[in-house]
A and B are shown apart, each in its own frame.
Chain A
Amino acid sequence: MELITDKHIKAKLTQMEQPYFISVKNICLSYNNFPVLENISFQIKKNEITTIVGPSGTGKSSLLYAFNRMTDFNPNVQVTGHIYCCNENYLTTKDIATVRSKFGLVFQKPNPFPVSIYKNLDIPLRENSKLSKTARKEKIISCLMSVGLWEEVKDRLNQPAQQLSGGQQQRLCIARCLVLDPELILMDEPTSSLDPISEAKIEELMVKLKDKVTILLVTHKMNQMRKVSDNVIVFWPKNNKTEVLTYGTVDQVLYKKDNNTFVSQYLNS
């Protein structure tokens, strides 16, 4: 039987004190010293879908890239602030490998690698884990099942991933994130290039996946925001910078009394 130590109690208490899974504090992001985001703070709850909405150019996608530390590759982007998860600032930690495996990123356009369906999942898994071949295979099958793709591809795992339809490719990309056991999946307008049927499947999948992972979604589709979100963050431009206009549940955000006409029109579009 496991002994309950002070350490365990302390950890449990800390967990109870922190209802939020990820805490974003004072994020400032600028392109070539031109500020885009300034002092952005919000929290993300575990196993919920938090959606960021707002007009184009307000730095929503850039913020997602900062989560995954993709901004490190662009010397013209400067990011400061804190993204706390498990008492660690993921924005400054040197262990980028852990950041990228914990915060998976799904792009606007499906981007499967030009290899087979199986290898699309096997390559990142091999690179980031020491699992045996059999264990990897089991994991790949379970991830394909999680995204509802297994039945569709089980007979053609060795065929090129580009032969899949757009919606299937995007689900494959989500499965590619899932093989690394992420805590948070960052989705940057994942349905913007898909047809309504594929879009509905991805939305259904998002809701299903939130039992396993937390999702931070960026979207321009208000209908999608209403359908899948637990919490909504509205980014709004003010004096050439972006501020968090509202944060709350879908109803709280949509029916907030002090929303001005532009915001109301945007959110109800």
Chain B
Amino acid sequence: MKNKIFILTSWLSFFTFFAIFFAVTGNIIFTGLDNFSFSFLFNTFNNSGRDGGISTIIISTLIIVAFALFVSVIISILSAICIDYFSKNIRITKILKLSIDTLSATPSIVFGLIGNIIFCEFLGLGYSLISGSLTLALMILPIQTRIILIGLNSVPKDIRLGAYALNLKPFTSYFRIKIHLIKKQILSGTFMGLGRSLAETAALLFTSGYGVKMPSSLLDSGRTLSIHIYDLAMNVPGGNENAYKSALTLILLVFIISLITATIQRRFNLGQQEFVWN
């Protein structure tokens, strides 16, 4: 009887999840596809977003996300290595891990506020793509660091001891040997950061602003697709049609990136299979 209830609950949860998933994405896809043309992707913003396209917004989104990932991946790898290297001091490591977990759960609006104070006002960068990128980098840094740290902790003890026995310096040990074992975690962390960056609105409202012109430098203001969707839906009467089209574009963008990531991950998995079978 217990088994039947378990199986029934599992199937019910499965169907509920897929029903919600298809209802949301289906609504966006079918509404967004109405009057959708590829010129929407290549035209510029017009009439508060009711007309024209989103080319400048796509460019701003890609710049903000790419720069945020560039900064966060480098810092997260170095931070994770630093924590792993000093992990012998258990008390400090525990405090650092707790801080990372707390930062991961901090609402994005708080990061937006901090980003506004530090980057826009204190550093004088104003509402700009770079302020938005750096704020996003701060926001995704804890998750990426945690994932890479898990990867480093799972490096086999034999490999660590082998490196010590040969008197390899920490730089060689991490950047020439262990880095090969945590490629998957770096990729997973980057993809999670990417997903969070593309979906982020609150943190960017305070930092990158609403600019719609084609950015000529990182110091220009620019809005991302998620801010554009929010603006059209909340502030622009009659903007719903283009909001749906922009949402569809965002979903397509995430889908393409997921496909690329999955392909790279599959290549890593194939490498691991070779290791297992040989």
Which A residues fall within an 8 A CB radius of B? Answer: 68, 70, 73, 75, 96-97, 100-101, 104-105, 107, 109, 111-115, 119, 123-124, 127-128, 160, 162-165, 173, 176-177, 180
Q: How far is the CB of A187 from chain B (nearest CB, A)?
A: 12
| B158 beta carbon closer than 8 Å to chain A | yes
| B176 beta carbon closer than 8 Å to chain A | yes
Partner-binding segment picked from B38-46, B130-138, B162-170, B256-264: B162-170
A107 to B158, CA, bound (A): 8
Q: How far is the CB of B262 from chain A (nearest CB, A)?
A: 22
Looking across the interface, which residue of chain A has its beta carbon closest to that of B177? A113
Can you name 5 extra interface pairs (CB under 8 A) apart from A114-B177, A123-B177? Answer: A111-B159, A119-B176, A124-B166, A127-B167, A127-B168
Task: Contacts A127-B172, A160-B275 given; indicate if A100 touches B181 (C-beta within 8 A).
Answer: no
Contacts of A73 in B (CB 8 A): 88, 164
Chain B: interface residue count, which band?
20 to 34
Which B residues fall within an 8 A CB radius of A? Answer: 88, 156, 158-159, 161-169, 172, 176-177, 180-181, 271, 274-275, 278
Pick 13 A–B contacts, CB within 8 A, sort by A. Answer: A100-B165, A107-B158, A107-B162, A111-B161, A113-B163, A114-B177, A114-B180, A115-B180, A124-B168, A127-B166, A128-B166, A128-B167, A165-B278
A177 to B162, CA, bound (A): 10
The prevalent SS among residues of B at the interface is helix
Contacts of A111 in B (CB 8 A): 156, 158-159, 161-162
Do A75 and B165 have beta carbons less than 8 Å apart?
A: no
Contacts of A96 in B (CB 8 A): 167
Q: How far is the CB of B187 from chain A (nearest CB, A)?
A: 16
Do B161 and A70 have beta carbons less than 8 Å apart?
A: yes
A107 to B156, CA, bound (A): 13
Task: Contacts A75-B88, A162-B278 given; indicate if A113 touches B159 (C-beta within 8 A).
Answer: yes
Contacts of B274 in A (CB 8 A): 160, 162-163
Looking across the interface, which residue of chain B has its beta carbon closest to that of A72? B164
Contacts of A101 in B (CB 8 A): 167
Task: Contacts A70-B164, A73-B164 given; indicate if A127 touches B275 (C-beta within 8 A).
Answer: no
Do B275 and A123 have beta carbons less than 8 Å apart?
A: no
Q: How far is the CB of B245 from chain A (nearest CB, A)?
A: 46
Do A107 and B180 have beta carbons less than 8 Å apart?
A: no
Do B177 and A115 have beta carbons less than 8 Å apart?
A: yes
Q: Which one of B166, B177, B278 has the greatest number of beta carbons of chain A within 10 Å?
A: B166
Q: Point out the residue from A128, A163, A173 that lies within 8 Å of B162, measured CB to CB.
A: A173
Q: How far is the CB of A65 from chain B (nearest CB, A)?
A: 9
Q: How far is the CB of A180 from chain B (nearest CB, A)?
A: 7
A254 to B278, CA, bound (A): 40
Looking across the interface, which residue of chain B has its beta carbon closest to that of A75? B88
Do A163 and B158 have beta carbons less than 8 Å apart?
A: no
Looking across the interface, which residue of chain A has its beta carbon closest to that of B278? A163
Contacts of B158 in A (CB 8 A): 107, 109, 111
Give 7 closest A-B pairs by Cβ, nearest first.
Answer: A111-B158, A100-B167, A105-B165, A124-B166, A111-B162, A114-B180, A163-B278
Do A123 and B164 have beta carbons less than 8 Å apart?
A: no
A233 to B57, CA, bound (A): 76
Contacts of A123 in B (CB 8 A): 168, 172, 176-177
Do B166 and A100 have beta carbons less than 8 Å apart?
A: yes
Do B165 and A162 have beta carbons less than 8 Å apart?
A: no
A124 to B176, CA, bound (A): 11
A70 to B278, CA, bound (A): 31
